[in-house]
Amino acid sequence: MILEQILKEKGGQVFSVAESATLKEAADLLDTRRVGAMVILNEAGGIIGVLSERDIIRNIARIGAAALKCTVGEVMTRQVVTARPRDTVESAMEKMTDRRIRHLPVVDGGRMIGVVSIGDLVKWRIAEADAEVNAIRSYIQP
């Protein structure tokens, strides 16, 4: 399966936050939306960063509660790892494992079309394994 299919199934809703927002505001949005990361976009819709729960926690661990007053732009990950819509689930999982990331923006022609999480990919792999087991059972049992 390719990432484009997963995005069609889950929907292409992308949550973003302004680079100028505080970490407190971003943490509140992550909590409200029940997501683990958000992208930061420029005016043209291009990705300039990703902010994850890990980024926030890492900053709090470094400087304490004052970290919540920092801006997203000060803390976000700027070296964003991305995938293309035609990439396979397997290649996306490999990329995420190698880079130790849990969220992967999917970009088409320089424009972000969605984000897949490791949870999305694992869910698909489990469904695929179940389908294989059922196919084998059907073949074995008359």
Q: What is the pLDDT of residues 73-132, one digit of tens each?
A: 999 999 999 999 999 999 999 999 999 999 999 999 888 899 999 999 998 888 777 777
Domain 3-140, CATH number (from 3.40.640.10, 3.10.129.10, 3.10.580.10, 3.40.1350.10): 3.10.580.10
In the chain, domain spans: 3-140
Determine how many CB atoms are found less than 10 A away from the CB of residue 101. Answer: 18
Tens-digit pLDDT profile for residues 58-71: 999 999 999 999 99
Strand-pair partners of 88: 2
DSSP 141: -
Residues 30, 59: Cα–Cα separation, whole Å: 16
CB-CB contact of 96 with 121 (8 Å): yes
Strand-pair partners of 22: 71
pTM for this structure? 0.83
Q: How many CA atoms does the CB half-sphere of 133 hold within 13 Å?
A: 6
